[in-house]
Structure 1
Amino acid sequence: MLVTGDDLLKVANQHSFAIPAFNISDWAMNRGIFEIGEELQSPLLIAIHPDELAHVGDELVLAIRERAHRSSVPVAIHFDHGATIDQMLWAIQSGFTSVMLDGSMLPFDENVALTRRAVEAAHAVGLSVEGELGTIGKTDSEAEDGADEIIYTKPDEAVKFVEATGVDSLAIAIGTSHGIYPSWMKPELKLDLLQEIKAAVSVPLVLHGGSNNPDAEIGQAAKMGINKINISSDIKVAYHVKMREVLADGSVREPNTIQPPAVEAMKAEAAHKIRLFGSDGKAGLY
């Protein structure tokens, strides 16, 4: 069934688990995520970044909506890292049921003002909004935008931000980065900071840059109050590494030969995240 992001995350917040938000970039990836979510009876967040949406076209969102209506698990379609009001309107018109306004690189007051405008636009048509406070790092040129230096979310500012904007969920910065960490970079989450923020605000909390983090830390974050964890690089790496292996046989050419093994590799990685974050078997709560 098709739902809003708020519908999904309120339940996750009440029952202390996190839902992976899987960024997809083509229909084969989308089908695979639906299949593994239904197999494990996990609620699903299908996430698409503005760059990904420009690549695949708005029409894909309509196809995902149709698939979600037929799904045995609750599904929200999330517009990831929108940066302007025009992009919010684009997402609303395209059929997303959850939108993010990322003003994290702006001064606090400007972030508040822009996010509040996004909330007013989305709430007017019954959609939920995710805001972001603090900055996520960036590990390589292929990763989504991020800051050169992480600015950690302050609990007191988180309280003010949620009250001033009316956001339905809040992405916080506790030490993650977008992309795949190079060998010399060792991520370390500030779980004590997460605990402080969770105690201070009541809305569901979101963690971006969820790929390539140690299982122990990211799994603990899900138990301690993170309710949505964005996973993009990990599933794309699994998908395309397997695809390169298949394409090493220069005689293959048909998508129905090339893509299925890649989708299966991606599904295995997605299944690991679903179980790690505790969303498996939770579809029955909705």
Structure 2
Amino acid sequence: MLLNGRDLLAVANENYFAIPAFNISDYAMGKGIFEISERLHAPLIVAIHPDEVSHIGGDALAALIQRAHRSSVPVAIHWDHGGTYEQVLEAIQLGFTSAMIDASMEPFEDNVAITRKVVDTAHAVGLSVEGELGTIGKLDEQAEDGVLVSQIAFTDPAEAVEYVERTGVDSLAIAIRTAHGLYPKHVTPQLKLDLLQQIKALLPIPLVLHGGSGNPDDEIGQSVKLGVNKINISSDIKVAYHDKMREVLADTSLREPNSIQPPCIAAMQEVAAQKIQLFDAAGKADLY
């Protein structure tokens, strides 16, 4: 069942759970994510970054959209971290049902103006829009958009209220000390849960966490209880998928996809299942 992000997240917001937004970069990953979500009866956001879109191409996107229509759980197909108005137009043309505009690196007034323009266009054709206020960290060059962790600007609660009122976004990505990529093993990040509580008390719309791969499970679970309704997961599932693929390909006699990819998909699904349970999303498809 294909939905837009607004309708999908509204149920999560009302019932205090978070929907995982799994970033996928090929059709096999997408198929595996659909299957584990259906197995756990969990609503799903398939998130695809512009770089991932350029990799998989429009034809594969059409197949993923058709797969969402056939799914037994509610699904949104989400354009992740669109950086410009023109990129969001591309998302509309390709059939996405949800789009993020990330103008968080711009001055506040420019962020508002760009986001408002995107909202006006996207809402006119039925897409929901996620905005971002504050800056998400970036831990390495392979990570998605962001700034150095030392340069993170946390979301200001008062600015968040003004931003939502002036832009009309359907959900808001906030900066409470998360980062794209993977933290070094000797570093343990700590979420600013007090800031999350302040923002949630002021805003009725769903809140979003980006860069949640490296944060401790107990903090992520607590953030869900405090009102986060969408959490992006990219690095964790990609590492599981590609680490297993490297292991499998150590056997140089293998060449057929059905000999190589199933264990890689299974490794990814194990991580995805843990995230679904952590976000309290298992079984929540029954609410739609």
Q: Tell me the TM-score normalised to structure 2 length.
A: 0.98
| Aligned counterparts of 1:251 and 1:41: Cα–Cα separation in 2 | 37
Residue in 2 that maps onto 1:172: 174
Does residue 232 of the first structure (1) align with residue 209 of the second (2)?
no
What is the DSSP-based 3-state SS (H/G/I as helix, E as strand, rest coil) of the residue aligned with 1:230?
A: strand
Q: Distance in 1 between matches of 2:120 and 2:202?
A: 24
Alignment of structure 1 residues 109-258 onto 2, 5 Å: 109-148=109-148, 149-258=151-260
* 1:40 maps onto 2:40 in alignment: yes
Contact 2:81 2:145 in 1 (8 A): no
- Determine whether 1:24 maps to 2:24: yes
CA distance in 2, matches of 1:31, 1:212: 25
User: 1:284 Cα deviation (Å)?
Assistant: 0.5
1:115 Cα offset (Å): 0.3
Inter-partner Cα distance in structure 2 for 1:116 and 1:81? 16
Q: CA deviation at 1:59?
A: 1.6
Q: Deviations over 1:12-51 (max 9, x none)?
A: 0000010010000001100100000000000000000000
Matched residue of 1:96: which SS?
A: coil
Q: Give 1:124's aligned amino acid.
A: A
Aligned equivalent of 1:264, options 263, 266, 269: 266
**Distance apart, 1:186 and its partner CA:** 2.2
Query: How far apart are 1:58 and its partner, in Å?
Result: 1.4
- Is the Cα–Cα contact under 8 Å of residues 178 and 189 in structure 2 kept in the other structure? yes
How far apart are residue 184 of structure 1 and its match? 3.8
Question: Match of 2:71?
Answer: 71
Q: For structure 2, which runs of at least 5 residues remain unmatched after alignment?
A: none
CA shift digits 1:174-208 (9 cap, x unpaired): 00000010134321100000000000111100000
| Offset of residue 213 of structure 1 | 1.2
Corresponding residue SS for 1:206: strand
CA distance in 1 between partners of 2:266 and 2:165 (Å): 43
Structure 1 Cα separation of the partners of residues 186 and 140 of structure 2: 13
Residues 88-139 of structure 1 deviation map (CA, whole Å, 9 limit, x = unaligned): 0000000100000000000000000000000011001011000000000011
Q: Mean alpha-carbon deviation: is it higher for 273-282 or for 54-63?
A: 54-63
Distance 1:249 1:212 in 2: 31
CA contact (8 A) 2:173 2:207 kept: yes
Counterpart CA distance in 1 for 2:284 and 2:239 is 27
**Helix, strand or coil at the partner of 1:58:** helix
Q: What is the letter of the counterpart of residue 277 of structure 2? A: R
8 Å contact 2:188–2:216 — kept in the other structure? no
SS at match of 1:100: strand
For structure 1, which segment, 14-23 or 58-67, has the greater mean C-alpha deviation from structure 2 after superposition? 58-67
Structure 1 ranges of 4+ moved more than 3 A: none
Paired with 1:58 and 1:118, the residues of 2 have a C-alpha distance of: 21
Name the stretch that deviates more: 175-184 or 74-83: 175-184
Q: What is the deviation of 1:60?
A: 1.6
The number of equivalent residue pairs is 286
Q: Does 1:59 align with 2:59?
A: yes
Identify which range, 260-269 or 144-153, moves more after superposition: 144-153
What amino acid does structure 2 have at the position aligned with 1:210?
G
In 1, the alpha carbon distance for the partners of 2:251 and 2:275 equals 30
Corresponding residue for 1:283?
A: 285
SS at match of 2:135: coil
Q: Output the amino acid matched with 2:235.
A: S
Q: Could you tell me how far 1:254 is from its partner in structure 2?
A: 1.1
Aligned residue identity for 1:169: S
Q: Deviations over 1:141-187 (max 9, x none)?
A: 11112112110001000000000000000000000000010134321
SS at match of 2:147: coil
Kindly state the Cα deviation for residue 56 of structure 1 after the two structures are TM-superposed: 0.7
